[in-house]
Chain A
Amino acid sequence: DAKTTQPNSMESNEEEPVHLPCNHSTISGTDYIHWYRQLPSQGPEYVIHGLTSNVNNRMASLAIAEDRKSSTLILHRATLRDAAVYYCILSGTNFGNEKLTFGTGTRLTIIP
């Protein structure tokens, strides 16, 4: 499985945008980039995924570099509820039935 590299931790102020980086220099042409997050005492939850183009949904935006070797998850206005561990994962499909290979993720702390 192609690997991803994320910072161990980040802090951000409440109500400000947050940019969470992910490096995936060995990504293959068919790998999708998925983001999941895990709030304290809960299972992971899906955030967003993409292949080449930038993606937006109600939770976040995903900006993918032109060479696809990196991507950034953008939370437009962080709230305290966004404090979680964020995982960047590469998967060979855009289907949810593909096994997910989690790293250690980025622990995001939101400062009130």
Chain B
Amino acid sequence: DAGVTQSPTHLIKTRGQQVTLRCSPKSGHDTVSWYQQALGQGPQFIFQYYEEEERQRGNFPDRFSGHQFPNYSSELNVNALLLGDSALYLCASSLEFGGVGTEAFFGQGTRLTVV
């Protein structure tokens, strides 16, 4: 089991550009959440996708959008990049009806640097 995989691992973009980050969930998982982690801070929830719909959203502007595909993989898109968008972007997968004891599995993240 490959766990949660994210690509790319590192990325450098220029202010104003757009970026797409990708996530493949753990085998069998149907729910994908995205988090942003600034240096020295804990991860902050961006949004969650289930059944190809955005279900929950954190306090992030509309420049942040996403998509979930029928195979449960997901993309995070960020438009009009700002310097402050530089962070580690984490994807977590889980089961909608996992029952007692299920937990979220995180990928290793994509390090985005905006210059």
Cα separation A66 to B105 with both chains bound (whole Å):
30
Which chain B residues lie closer than 8 Å to A85 at the CB level? 42
Which chain A residues lie closer than 8 Å to B101 at the CB level? 94
B94 touches A97 (CB 8 A): yes
Which chain B residues lie closer than 8 Å to A17 at the CB level? none
Near B by CB (< 8 A), chain A positions 43-84 give: 43-46, 49
**Number of B interface residues, CB 8 Å?**
32
CB-based nearest B residue for A102: B42
Q: Mark B24-42, 1 if CB is under 8 A from A, else 0.
A: 0000000101010000111
Q: How far is the CB of B93 from chain A (nearest CB, A)?
A: 8
Given contacts A43-B4, A102-B43, A104-B41, contact A96 B109 (CB under 8 A): no
Near A by CB (< 8 A), chain B positions 91-115 give: 92, 94-109
Which chain B residues lie closer than 8 Å to A87 at the CB level? 42
CB-based nearest B residue for A105: B42
Is residue B48 within 8 Å, beta carbon to beta carbon, of the partner chain? Answer: yes
A-B contact pairs, 19 of them (CB 8 A): A42-B109, A43-B107, A43-B109, A44-B43, A44-B90, A44-B92, A44-B106, A87-B42, A94-B102, A95-B97, A95-B98, A95-B99, A96-B92, A96-B103, A96-B105, A97-B104, A100-B92, A100-B104, A102-B43
A residues contacting B by CB (< 8 A) are 34, 41-46, 49, 85, 87, 94-97, 99-105
